[in-house]
Amino acid sequence: MLESLEKMLAKGVDNSLLRFGLGKGYLDLGENAKAAEHFERCVGFDPKYSAAWKLLGKAHLALGDHAAARQAWEQGLEAARVHGDKQAEKEMAVFLKKLDRQAQ
């Protein structure tokens, strides 16, 4: 699947859905830096894409960048609230609380 998405990108197709798919694929493989790059591009296309913010935070956390993870989740929380995405809102609120506990 990743190969076909990369081919689409190489052909000049570039949008939030494609970037989300690439980010998710790389996150699943543990290639967190590549995942974060694609999620950054995804939210650049669509700042209201709360699922992308959520996974962007996870990618940053996996890279050990707690500040970037926090920033992604805070922006994602705002996007989820505006968009009415209650599930993503709850999940990111939990991630932020866990991050706060780890920081203490």
pTM over cut 0.85: yes
Mean pLDDT to the nearest integer, 7-15: 97
Q: What pLDDT score does 91 carry? A: 97
Assign residue 84 a region: left if phi > 0, alpha if psi is -120 to 50, beta otherwise?
left
Q: What is the pLDDT of residues 28-40, one digit of tens each?
A: 999 999 999 999 9
Residues with Cβ < 8 Å from 17, sequence gap 6 or more? none
Q: What pLDDT score does 103 carry? A: 77
Q: Are 95 and 73 in contact (CB under 8 A)?
A: yes
C-alpha distances in angstroms, 59 versus 13, 27, 40, 83? Answer: 23, 7, 10, 22
